[in-house]
Structure 1
Amino acid sequence: MVTKGSCMCSQVGYEFTSEPATTALCHCTDCQKWTGGPYTANVVVPRKNFTVTKGTPKTYDAIGASGKVNKHFFCGNCGSSLYTELEIMPDVACVKSGCLDGGAKDHDIKVEFYTKDRLGYAKEIPGAEQLTHFG
């Protein structure tokens, strides 16, 4: 199985060759800033199965609540948020599902992180594990 994604202007492309390890929403205030929305929607995949296939994304390092680096990858041209690599989770990439080719998929969300920061109108996903923070 190969899943592909790209930024809005198509200058950066990527693919992964495995099923997601999990799917997650993150409601933390950093993710709210990162997306300009109430949360990030993530397809979490093993880094060993994730490859940038076109272009070179820019990066921004933020320090998470853990004190460890959250490296954000984005297109330097159109600004699309592509994926994150969290020092606290060294074996996976958190792919932003809105950049999957063909549009965001209606994934069965397995976990919601930082529910303490969830906005009132963003309701709990039934059946998803609810965590007030990460880790």
Structure 2
Amino acid sequence: MSSKVIMYLGSCLCEEVKYKLLSEPKKASHSHCNMCQKQHGAAFATYASLPKSDVVYLSGSSSLTEYNSSANIKQKFCKVCCSSIEWGGSENYPDWVSVAIATLDTPYKPKKVIDIRTETKVCWLNHS
């Protein structure tokens, strides 16, 4: 039995930045940390993690800009439309990045999505 390789495609809001994922993301999470809340202007941000070598920018890489949201963490976003694309730089996982799932154009349904950094979960969010 052969395993089917699924390639995921994604883009920013203005479609200046386009990328593909060469592997299935390994972990998906809703991050409720204050940095993600401010970065996305939302109650939480949903990311999927995979090796950074498996994220390939097809176009618009010159339109990506970075912001160091903490000592090691770099957020990448489109400088045209400000869509958050990925973050990386974790000391524990230096060769991995987390991609904003909402920027995927190809349907992606993770087996499980966990909630992290819930100590800063907003009081007005009612989800399970």
The 1:33–1:98 alpha-carbon spacing in structure 2 relative to 1, beyond 3 Å, is same
Q: Give SS of 2:85's match.
A: strand
1:43 maps to what in 2?
48
Q: Give SS of 2:69's match.
A: strand
Counterpart of 1:2 in structure 2: which amino acid?
M
- 2:123 and 2:112 mapped to 1: Cα distance? 18
Q: Give SS of 2:23's match.
A: coil
User: TM-score, normalised on structure 1?
Assistant: 0.80
Question: CA-to-partner distance for each residue in 1:67-87, whole Å, 9 max, x for gaps?
Answer: x41111111111111111133
Question: How far did 1:49 drift?
Answer: 1.1
Residue segments in structure 1 that go unaligned for 5+ positions in a row = 126-135
Superposed structure 1 runs of 4+ greater than 2 Å apart: 86-89, 105-111, 120-125
- 1:47 and 1:123 mapped to 2: Cα distance? 33
Question: CA-to-partner distance for each residue in 1:30-79, whole Å, 9 max, x for gaps?
Answer: 0000000011101111112111111121111111xxxx411111111111
Report which structure shows greater RCO (CA 8 Å, sep ≥6).
Answer: 2
Q: 2:94 aligns with which of 70, 80, 90?
A: 90
Q: 1:6 aligns with which of 5, 8, 11?
A: 11
Q: Percent identity, aligned pairs only? A: 25
Q: Give SS of 2:53's match.
A: helix
- 2:117 and 2:104 mapped to 1: Cα distance? 24
Q: 2:65 aligns with which of 49, 58, 68?
A: 58
